[in-house]
Structure 1
C-alpha cells in the first residue's frame, strides 16, 4: 500500500495536473498539505508535487499566491491565507520537503517584480516560523531562498546610460528585494538577539558559526554589489545606489532594532574588508564596492543624525582611499577608474578626487567637492572598527 501511495504522489506531480489544480482546484492542494501537517507526515515523496504546485502558482498571477496577499489588498482571504498558511508556515515541513521554496531554474529568469514579491512573501512566512520555533541550526531551504532573492536584481547593470530607470522592472525588483531584507530583519527583531549570536565570525570558523544574521548581511552585500554596477548617468546612479538601497537600509535610523544593528555591523565589515582586500589584490569587485561607498556616503564627513550608522565606515573608507588611490591608479588605472561613478573624477595633476554636482533645480552653476589624496600608501595593515 505504501508503494501505491508513493506512486500516486508521483503521478499527481505532473506539471499539467499541478497547473490544473492551481487554476481550478486549489482546495486539492490545501487538503494534501493540511493532512501532512495534521498527521506530521513530512517525509513522503511529495517533493516534485510541492515544487510544481508552487512554480505553477507563481506563473499564474490569478492563483492563490496572489489572492492570498495582505488583507488590505485581498480582503478576508488575505487575512486568513488558508493555502499559504498550510504550505509555508510549518518550518519543519518546509525543510523536510526541501523543494517548496525552490523556483524553476529557468522560469525564475522570466519573473517580474510582482512574481518576486509573491515569492518573497511565502519565504517570509517560513522564516517567521523558523525564528518563532527557535531553530538555531542551518536552514538549507531558507539559505537557498536567500540566494535566489539576492540575485533577483542582478541585471541592474542594464540600466547604465538609460535616461529613465524608475519605471524599469529591474528597479522594481530591487525595491522588492530591499523590502524583503527589511521585513526579514523585523522578524529577527521580534525574537531578539540570542546571546550566542557572534558579532564577527572569523573566516577560519566559517559556516558552522554563521547565523541568519550573517546570511542577511551577505544578502545586503550582494545587493549593494549589484547596485554598484549602475554607474551612469549621475541621477540614475544616485537613485539606485542611494535612494533605493543605502537610504532604505542605513540612513534615517533604518533597521534600528537590536537585530538590525547586528546586521548593519556585519554589512559594514563586509564592505570594508572587500575594499581593503584591493591592497593585496586589486580587483573590479572591490573597485565597484568602493565606488558605491564613495557615492552614497560622499567625500566629506557630515555630522547629522541621518548618517550616524555609516559615519565610522565612511571615515574608514575615506582614510583607505586617501592612502591608496594614487597607488591603485598607478598599479592598474582600469581598476582605479572602476572606483569612480559618473560625477566623480580623478584629478591626477592636483592629486585629488573631484565630485561635481551639476547645475539643476535652483542651482545655477555646478558645485564641486574636493578630496585630497596622499602620494603613496602606508605599508601598515589597515583595520578599523566599522
Structure 2
C-alpha cells in the first residue's frame, strides 16, 4: 500500500481489492426499489407523505442526490486508486456504512410516516395539511377525495381543537386562503381546512365513503364545546348529500326493524342532532337545497323528519321556553313538503301510492311524534293558552304547522273519494280521530288550531280570499253540514263555525266573487242557487245502497 505524508497528515491509496458493500451499483438498485414503491403508492400514502411535519419529499430528493454523487465518487476514487486521508475514525468501510445508513434512514422515514405513524394535524404539520387538502380538492377526483376524507379522521379532533370559536351565530364566510398567501397561525390553518372540506365534492366523499370523519368532527365539537367554528357550510352539505344518498348514515341509523347495532345506537345522528344548543349555534343543519338540483321524495322527508325530531326532543326536555330558529326553519321545510298536493286535484285515475300522498303520510306521522314528545314532557305551569304577540310556544308552532298542512291538503277538492281519503282518513282522522292522542298537550294544540281556524273565517267575513276558502272547503268536507252524534266536541265547535259562516255569508260571496265561492266547496257538495242551499251527497257503499243527500239552508 502506497502512503504519502505532508507533515503529520498522511494519505493512503485506495485499492480496488478493498471491501465494498455499498457502492453506486447498490445505490441504483435501492433507488430503483424506492422509486417503484413511490410510484405505485396508494393515494393515502401520498397524502401522508405530503402532510408529514417535515418536508419529506424535498429532503429525500436532496439526500438521495447527495448520496448518489458520493457513492459514484467513492467508486471512481477506488477505481483510480486515488489517495484518501489515513486514519482510524473514517475508514473506507465506515464511509460506505455511513452512506448506506443515511440511505436506509431515508427509506425508513418514508415508511414511518406512510405506514407506522401517519401524520396528524398539529402545529408542525398544519401548513402541509392545508396545501395537501387544497391540492386534492382542487383536483376533485372523487376516488381520491374519499381517501383524503378518511385520512382526515385522525386529525378531526385537532382541527376542531385549534379552530377559533367565533361565538354567536354561524354564517357563510368567503375569505382568501391566508395559508396559501400569508403567514398564518395554526388556528387560521385549522379554519381554512374547515372551509376546504366544506366543498360539495368533498362533502359527498365524506357521506359516501367516510362518515367516520364527520363523526369525529362533531364528537370533537361536543368535547371542546366549540359550536361556532366554521362548520356551517360543511354541516349543510353533509346533511343534504346524506338525505339524497339512501345508503348514507341517515338511513343506516334509522333504528327500524331491519337495523342492526348501528341502527340501535345511531352514533353519527346522535352526535349531530341530539344536542339542540349545538344545532342552534351552527344554524345550518336543517337547511335544505329545495330549489337546487335535489328532488326530495317521501323517503328523504322521512329521514329529515327523523333527525328534526331528535333535536326537537332535546329542545323540549332542556330548553322548553327558548326560541329556536333552526327548528323554525325545519318546520317550514316540512310544511313545504306538502306544497305539491294540488297536483292531485281532479285526477280521476289517482293512486294512494303517489309520492305526494306518501309525503303527507310522513308529515302526519311527524306531527303525531311531536305531540307524543310534548305529552311526555307534560304541560308546563303558566302556559299561555292564547298567543301573545309574536311569541310562540311549541304548541303554537305545531298548531300553525297543522293549519298550513290542512290548507295544502284542501287543494285536493276532487274526486270525492280522494278528497275524503286525504282530508279525513289521512289527516284529520289521524291527528284528531278516535286513535289520536287525547292528552293535555293534544287538547291545547286543538284549542290553538281552533283559534287559527276561527281567525281565518273571521277574515273571510271581511276580505274573502282563497286561503280562507280552502279552509272552509276542508272542514265542510270533514265535519259535514249537519250535527252527528259520533262527532267529537272539537268537530262540533268547528262545524258551528263553518255552518254559521256559510249560512250568513256564502250567498253574498257567490254573487260577488263566484271564483272564491267555488273554492269553498269540495267535490260532493254543490250550491243550489235557486233555493239558496248547500247540498252534500254521500256516495253509496255497502251499508248505504243509495246516495244520501243532506241540505243546509242559507240566508241571503
**Structure 2: gaps of 5 or more residues:** 1-185
Judge conservation of contact 1:89–1:125 (CA < 8 Å) in 2.
yes
1:173 to 346, 349, 359: 359
* Moved >4 Å (runs of 4+): none
Partner of 1:380: none
Contact 1:251 1:309 in 2 (8 A): no
How has the CA–CA distance of structure 1 residues 108 and 189 changed in structure 2, closer, same or farther, with 3 Å as cutoff? farther
Correspondences of 1:1-386 after superposition (within 5 Å): 1-107=186-292, 110-162=295-347, 163-201=349-387, 205-207=388-390, 209-252=391-434, 254-304=436-486, 307-361=488-542, 363-375=544-556
Query: Does the CA contact (< 8 Å) of 1:225 and 1:289 recur in 2?
Result: yes
1:325-354 per-position Cα deviation (integer Å, ceiling 9, x unaligned): 112212212211111111000112122110
TM-score, normalising length: structure 2: 0.65
Report if aligned partners of 2:396, 2:448 keep a CA contact under 8 Å in 1. yes
Per-residue deviation, residues 42-70 of structure 1 (Å, max 9, x unmatched): 11111111111111111100000001012
Aligned-pair CA distance for 1:308:
3.0
Name the stretch that deviates more: 103-112 or 44-53. 103-112
Do the aligned residues in 2 keep the contact of 1:95 with 1:140 (CA within 8 Å)?
A: yes
Partners of 2:511 and 2:298 lie apart in 1 by 42
Contact 1:232 1:342 in 2 (8 A): yes
Q: Residue 313 of structure 1: CA displacement?
A: 1.6
Measure how far apart 1:107 and its partner are: 4.4
Please tell me the root mean square deviation across aligned C-alpha atoms, in Å: 1.5
> What is residue 379 of structure 1 aligned with on the other side?
none
Q: CA deviation at 1:230?
A: 0.2
**Partner of 1:381 in structure 2?**
none
Cα distance in 1 for partners of 2:533, 2:510 equals 12
SS in 1 for 2:227: coil
What is the deviation of 1:71?
4.1
Structure 2 counterpart SS, 1:74: coil
Q: Is the 8 A contact 2:532 2:554 kept in 1?
A: yes
Q: Note the C-alpha offset of 1:361.
A: 4.0
SS at structure 1 position matched to 2:258:
helix
- The alpha-carbon deviation at position 253 of structure 1 amounts to 5.3
Q: Residues 88-130 of structure 1: CA distance to partner in whole angstroms, max 9, x if unpaired? A: 0011000000111111232486100000000000000000010
Kept in 2: contact 1:275–1:286 (CA 8 A):
yes
**Range moving further from structure 2, 339-348 or 358-367:** 358-367
For residues 254-309 of structure 1, the C-alpha deviation after alignment (integer angstroms, 9 at most, x for no partner) is: 232211111111111111211221110011111111011100111111122x5333
**What 5-or-longer segments of structure 1 have no aligned partner?**
376-386
1:234-266 Cα offsets, whole Å, 9 max, x none, are 001111111111111122152322111111111
Q: Is the 8 A contact 1:353 1:372 kept in 2?
A: yes
Give the Å deviation of 1:39. 1.3
Give the equivalent residue in structure 2 for 1:382.
none
CA distance in 2 between counterparts of 1:254 and 1:273 reads 25
The CA deviation at 1:134 is: 2.6
| Count of aligned residue pairs for this structure pair | 370
Matched position secondary structure for 2:488: helix
TM-score for both structures, normalised by structure 1: 0.93
Within 2, Cα distance between the matches of 1:75 and 1:301? 51
Q: Distance in 2 between matches of 1:273 and 1:71?
A: 41
CA contact (8 A) 1:250 1:310 kept: no
